[in-house]
Amino acid sequence: MPRYIYRLEVTRPDMLTVGPTPEEDRTLTAHFSFLTAQAEDGVVLLAGRTVTTGPETYGIVIFEAEDDVAARALMAADPAVVSGVMTGEVQPFRVAIGGDVKEG
């Protein structure tokens, strides 16, 4: 199955330095639950973020989807994107070195 990556960036940088608002905290919990469920279903292969708190900070999700439309739909369903706490951009992705490099 084709692989994709989506990159996430927070829309309110103070969330990383000052902390999330209660609403953002609820959204982040839902975001984590969403990605965990997708990983348990074998869709998400890896998800994480940089440990910096400056403007260079971002998160990534590497996952499998049937096609570009399904990939965009998965990212668009992420609660962090739905709520506007984060913006996302999805791209096709191929592992070249490391991990399971077999492409479906």
pTM to 2 decimal places: 0.91
Q: Which of 27-36, 65-74, 80-89, 94-103 has the lowest mean pLDDT?
A: 94-103
Torsion sign across C-alpha atoms 30, 56, 51, 95 = positive
Alpha helices in 41-94 (DSSP H): 68-77, 79-83
**Taking the domain 3-93, which CATH number applies?**
3.30.70.1060
> Which pLDDT tens digit goes with each residue over 15-25?
999 999 999 99
* Mean of pLDDT values over 75-100: 93
User: Domain locations in the chain?
Assistant: 3-93
